[in-house]
Amino acid sequence: MLTATRRTDSRVFSRPAGLMAAAFVALAGLCAVAGAAVPSALDRVPADAAMAGGVANLTTFHNNFNAMGSALKLESLDALKKMDALFQAQGIKKDGSAAVAILEVPQDGGDGMPGEGMRNAPMVIIVPVTDYKAFVTGLGGDAASPIAELKGQQTMFAKDIGGGYAALSPKRELTESFEGKGGNLEAHTKALGAVGTRVADKSDVVLVANVSKLAPKIKDGIKDMKEQAEMVGQMGGGNAPNTKILEIIAENWVRDAQTGVIGLNFSAENISIDVASQFKPGSELAGLFNSDGNSAGLLNSVPNKPFLFAIAMDTSSASMKKMLKGMFDTSKDMAKPGEKNAVAEASGMWEALLAKPEGFDGAAFTVGYSPAGLSAGLLSQTVGFIKTNKSSDYLKLTGDVMTKMNGTKVDGMQYTTEYKAAAVDVSGVKADSWSMAMTPSDPNDPMAMQVQMMMGFITGPAGKFQGLSAPTDKGVVMTYGQYAPFMDEALKAAKNGEGLGKSLAEASKLLPANRNFEMWIGSKSLIDTLGGFAAMMGGPAVSAPADLPPVAMAATGDASGAQLRIVVPTKVITTVQEIGKKVQSEMGGGDPMDDQGAPEEKKDGGKPKF
């Protein structure tokens, strides 16, 4: 602990509250495309600020961030040192709430350099203090001055705004004009809405964007994305990436969202990131995102085996069905003239199911792990479950669509399909068999040829997609590969409901409740698969610890808002770091983490540079 007469090294304010500032740069980037409570310091941030962020409790944030840093072995990281120094600054209220605000929309500089707008943004930092004079004096400022100048690598200007808060900004005129009056917390909480408040309640740091105020900037980003896609198309001979769906999503979001929210949560075990939006009352998206889900239950209907990826989506609500129908309508509108029939057939199948009560209430898929690695095909252990009370209708529709697809051409590929009803007996259940081969329809199309080259890694030795589909009393089970024992295993999992979801129950506690969608990445299985492929190609053999946890993400669409949470275990990060070091070492390179290690002392005996 620093003494009352010792000054805190003002270099920690070379970018005050550096983590918050960096987080806002990230938030701005997300907007260009796309605490244990609401931090009380937001009460001092104007309700119409373009962006705002806060920490509900500095001690909680400091402890959790340091725990994460220790778990990741980042003790020498500059951000941790700056945070420790900031936390120990004299006069700071350690259990108080802090905030940072970008008052107006950042404007790009004349040089057009990326990030220039954020560097020139009208930023104010609100710091909780127990003794403003001690705080300013400890940072080398004159506490008697109405605006205290704090010199460091970047000069800051501070003033006392009363109520136990200090306001800081790199611009003197902004500090002078900033009033920091209270009474804004209710407006911020209302703007966050039910979903944003839920994110804030579970986050160490929460960042909020005023979408209406940022709309012109976001629209410029959408325009830039479209222009870049067209440029790529011109460079690639006219094959521009189709960004229409992304454009529609972004435009609808800008139209209907009132806030964009990011929540960050740290611990020794996990890092979680929430990306959410609260939509305007009465808007189209507010109506669509208004239902609870149970995607977790669907994973109980697929076998409990090691997996590369596991995905589940609950589509039982009317709003989810309406959303899916809109997506299918859009895909038909986007289809090229020569491909409209094939796309319409596939979309029509799903629309027919969605129109039936309980025709399509959800799905779960797992891309399982194969000890044979990619030589067996990425999809060799894939199982799917479709939740429907119309299993016979589903099978007939898939058979009709696949039969009609035979000989069609889509995106430079020609499809050769075959479908046989009740072709295989699996423990008394008649399963349909199907296959689909894809070959380039134009030998001069570079994209089609690239797809063909990748098919072996995806499909395995068969060189085509093939599998079985069978009805159950709860839905339809599908397997990749026409291997009856594999289908038998999948049918048993769908029947007893004791599948993969049970083994993920503990990890699922970190995800939002009532989620509509979730995806799991089997970290160990994926690393082992990629490691085996690398060894086959002459690289070093690598593998993952047996107890390596999965990475998870989940989305909700309730309370007129949307929320996506991503949870990354710290053990996954350290494992990837260790593998990177091993690969670098065995391939004759140095330690890739050297640049992040502890800095060497300067030869003149001075302090190290960071």
Residue span of the structural domain in which 564 resides? 289-586
> Residues 394, 528: one domain?
yes
206/322 same-domain check: no
Average pLDDT over residues 265-279: 97
Q: 205 and 340 share a domain?
A: no
- DSSP 8-state assignment for residue 170: S
pLDDT of residue 336: 60
Q: Are residues 213 and 293 in the same domain?
A: no
For the packed helices 523-536 and 570-586, what is the interaxial angle rounded to 10 degrees? 10
**What single DSSP character describes residue 543?**
-
Q: Over range 443-456, report the average pLDDT.
A: 72
Q: Is the sign of the CA dihedral 393, 399, 403, 409 positive or negative?
A: positive
Indicate whether 2 pLDDT > 50. no
Q: Does pLDDT of 334 surpass 80?
A: no
Q: Give the distance from CA 608 to its chain's centroid.
A: 36
The pTM assigned to this predicted structure is 0.84
What percentage of the chain reaches a pLDDT higher than 90? Answer: 57
| Domain count along the chain | 2
Per-residue confidence at 584, pLDDT binned at 50, 70, 90?
confident
Residues near 336 by beta carbon (within 8 Å), at least 6 away in sequence: none
Residue 607 falls within a domain, yes or no?
no
Shared domain check, 488 and 339:
yes
For residue 273, the cross-strand partners are 264, 566
> Are residues 109 and 207 located together in one domain of the fold?
yes
Q: How many CB atoms lie within 10 A of CB 599?
A: 13
Average pLDDT of the segment spanning 15-44? 52
What pLDDT shows up at residue 550? Answer: 98
Mean pLDDT computed over 354-365: 82
Once rounded to an integer, what is the mean pLDDT over residues 161-175?
Answer: 97
| CB neighbour list of residue 323: distance below 8 Å, 6 or more residues apart | 288, 557
What is the pLDDT confidence band of residue 68, given thresholds at 50, 70 and 90? very high
Residues 360, 476 contacting (CB under 8 angstroms): no
H/E element, 298: helix 295-298
Residue type present at position 488: D
The number of angstroms, rounded, from the C-alpha of 470 to the middle of its chain's C-alpha atoms is 34
Looking only at the bridges linking them, the beta strands covering 257-266 and 156-162 are unpaired
121 located within any domain: yes
- Domain end residue (candidates: 181, 202, 220): 220
Distance, in Å, from the CA atom of 538 to the CA atom of 26, rounded to the nearest integer, reads 38
Q: Would residue 154 count as lying in a domain?
A: no
pLDDT of residue 14: 38
Q: Using one digit for the tens of pLDDT, what is the confidence trace for 104-127?
A: 987 765 444 445 556 678 999 999
Side-chain half-sphere CA neighbours of 581 within 13 A: 10
Q: 200-240, pLDDT tens digit by residue?
A: 999 999 999 999 999 998 888 888 877 777 776 666 555 55
Question: In the prediction, which pLDDT does 335 show?
Answer: 61
Provide the CB-side half-sphere exposure for 53 (13 A, CA). 26
Which residue from 394, 291, 298, 402 is spatially nearest to 350, judged by alpha carbons?
394
Task: Record the tokens describing residue 578, joined without a space.
Answer: 């260790």
State the Cα–Cα distance between residues 136 and 92, nearest whole angstrom: 10
Cα separation, 57 vs 96, in Å, equals 5
So what's the pLDDT on residue 116? 57
**pLDDT band at residue 28 under the 50/70/90 scheme:** very low
Average pLDDT, integer, range 479-501: 94
139, with CB counted inside 10 A (0-12, 13-18, 19+), is buried
Q: Is 529 domain-assigned?
A: yes
Give me the pLDDT at residue 537, please.
81
Single residue among 192, 220, 248 that ends a domain in this structure = 220
pLDDT digits over 491-547, tens only? 999 999 999 999 999 999 999 999 999 999 999 999 999 998 888 888 888 889 999
Q: Based on the domain organization, do 196 and 314 belong to the same domain?
A: no
User: Is 308 in the same domain as 188?
Assistant: no
* 107 to 112, 113, 121, 469: CA distances (angstroms): 10, 11, 7, 56
Joined tokens for residue 530: 């990629």
Q: Which amino acid is at 88?
A: Q
**Mean pLDDT in the chain?**
84
300 & 433 share domain: yes
Instruction: Return d(Cα 570, Cα 71) in angstroms, integer.
Output: 7
Residues 354 and 432 in one domain: yes
Looking at residue 539, its amino acid is: G
Contact 235, 257 (CB under 8 A): no
What is the pLDDT at residue 536? 82
DSSP category for residue 528: H
- The string of DSSP codes covering 207-247 is EEEEHHHHHHHHHHHHHHHHHHHHHHHHHTTS-----HHHH
Q: Do 106 and 192 fall within a single domain?
A: yes
* pLDDT of 595 higher than 80: no
Distances (CA, A) of 522 to 231, 275, 446, 528, 572: 37, 22, 32, 10, 10
191: in domain: yes
277 in any annotated domain: no
pLDDT digits 0-9 by tens, 239-265:
555 677 788 888 999 999 999 999 999
The three state secondary structure string of 130-157 is CCHHHHHHHCCCCCCCCCEEECCCCCEE
Banded pLDDT at 352 (limits 50, 70, 90): low
SS3 state at 332: helix
- Number of Cβ within 10 Å of residue 311's Cβ equals 20
The answer, yes or no, to whether residue 428 has pLDDT greater than 90, is: yes
CA gap 495, 176 in Å, rounded: 69
- pLDDT value at position 603? 43
Q: What does the alpha-carbon distance between residue 146 and residue 166 come to, in Å, rounded to a whole number?
A: 12
**Strand-pair partners of 52:** 101, 208
Running DSSP on this structure, what letter comes out for residue 458?
Answer: H
Q: Residue 364 CA to chain centroid, in angstroms?
A: 20
Are both 371 and 487 inside the same structural domain? yes
Q: What is the pLDDT of residue 412?
A: 72
The token duo for 511 is 């995800």
Going by pLDDT thresholds of 50, 70 and 90, the confidence category of residue 455 is confident
147 part of a folded domain: no
**Residue 140 domain flag:** no
CA distances from 88 to 73, 126, 204, 404 (A): 22, 16, 19, 70
